[in-house]
Structure 1
Amino acid sequence: MTEASEDLTHSRATEWLARGGLRPTRQRLALASLLVGDGEDRHVTAESLFAASVKGDEKVSLATVYNTLRAFCDAGLMQEVVVDGSKSYFDTRMGDHPHFYWEDAASLTDAPAEELDISRLPTPPEGMEIARVDVVIRLRKKA
């Protein structure tokens, strides 16, 4: 990576953290750089982000990765997409959009929102409002 691209990556990460009102600690900056440093949206698990940080020689524990991802979500920088009760992905794209979950590869990607048509939702219970609708479309190879 060139010095100019490192500066751009660092700048993107710093600005992203500032948007969420988060202090740019060394570990937050390192993880934010992996998540948004190239300007692309990502779907990561805590484990995949931890592996990327290890590969990049960053000293961050898996517990710190989990805590940092939670802080990013709480700050409105990412959203958690729960695929199974025990499997969460973290998405840097914050607008409403559906996802494909590729069962064979255990990966999550964006699905084309313009092709999704939800014509009606159930009425929420008294005193409640719909905050968000998550759509995860599970895919597997045909038998």
Structure 2
Amino acid sequence: MAPYSMDGVALITGAASGIGRACAVAFVEEGVKRLVLAEMNTTGLEETSFSLKNLNPEVETVLTRTDTSSPEDVQKMVDTGVEKFGSIHYTVNCAGVSTTSRVGSAELDIEAWDKVINVNLRGVWLCQRAVIQQMLKQD
């Protein structure tokens, strides 16, 4: 752990695996004990939460199944975190999808392209917008 300790609440999308899970671990290693973990894969979220609590038994998590391309899901994610912890101080948007085709290739169908854009681009914007609106209320 660093010579300082972070406090506050971290909200992480895509927290079930990969970079999202690694970010959650890094936050806990830096002293964050309250995390809102979001993902469509609830089994992966539970595994991440279990790992974090093994790192520090004082860790509290809120797990929320969230489709980041849905404004309603995103707002519910933020509201759920605020209901539990009172505020949000940090956010990392790692939710993402890919396709089996090469993105942009002639074989990629429009529905697959839309899903990639809606989660990987629109989803980040929706999450940032909702979290920033919440953070502005906190000050």
Query: Could you say whether these structures have the same fold, taking a TM-score greater than 0.5 normalized by the shorter chain as the test?
Result: no
Which structure has the larger Rg over C-alpha atoms?
Answer: 1
